[in-house]
Amino acid sequence: MSYRKAFKRNVGRGASRYCCSKDNNHDEIAKAAEQLCWTVFDTHKLPHFLDMIWIKAGQNIYIEVKNPDANGKVNPQQQETIDRLESAGAIVEVVEDVDDVIIISQRKYE
């Protein structure tokens, strides 16, 4: 089944009231990451997945963007995805602003 059909089927069934929304600061954060040499894959439209994947120098980081003005907490489905990714050894970060992007870019992950 194609992504488009699966997406329409899941959303059409009311997959989640949170599904596929884009925070107001999403584009600003993506642009900041790209300016810091991350390759950014925008995945916010994928049902039950996080907003972005950043890749630089062989390092993959899964990103959930939250709007700081809206009490940015992850919802239960996002938390389940985060838990599954982290249990598989993935790095996951929740980002609220450009300062978070800078901190992540300076962090050393193992």
Host domain of residue 54: 17-106
- Domain CATH for 36: 3.40.1350.10
Name every residue whose Cβ is closer than 8 Å to that of residue 88 and which is 6 or more positions away in sequence: none
Burial of 15: CB neighbours in 10 Å, binned 0-12, 13-18, 19+: middle
- What pLDDT score does 93 carry? 96
What pLDDT was estimated at residue 21?
Answer: 77
Q: pLDDT band for position 57 (50/70/90)?
A: very high
Q: What is the pTM of this model?
A: 0.80
Q: Please indicate, yes or no, if residue 9 is contained in any of the structural domains.
A: no
Is 82 domain-assigned?
A: yes
The answer to whether residue 74 sits within a structural domain is yes
pLDDT at 23: 86
Per-residue pLDDT tens over the stretch 5-34: 544 544 444 445 556 778 889 999 999 999
Mean pLDDT of 34-51: 94
SS3 76: helix
The domain total for the chain is 1
Amino acid at the residue 10: N
Is the residue at 11 inside a domain?
A: no
CB of 63 within 8 A of CB of 95?
Answer: yes
Per residue in 60-84, pLDDT (tens digit) is 999 999 988 767 788 899 999 999 9
* Closest by Cα among 37, 81, 89, 76 to 63: 81
Q: Which residue has the tokens 């990714």?
A: 85
**DSSP state for residue 45 in the 8-state scheme:** T
pLDDT at 17: 57
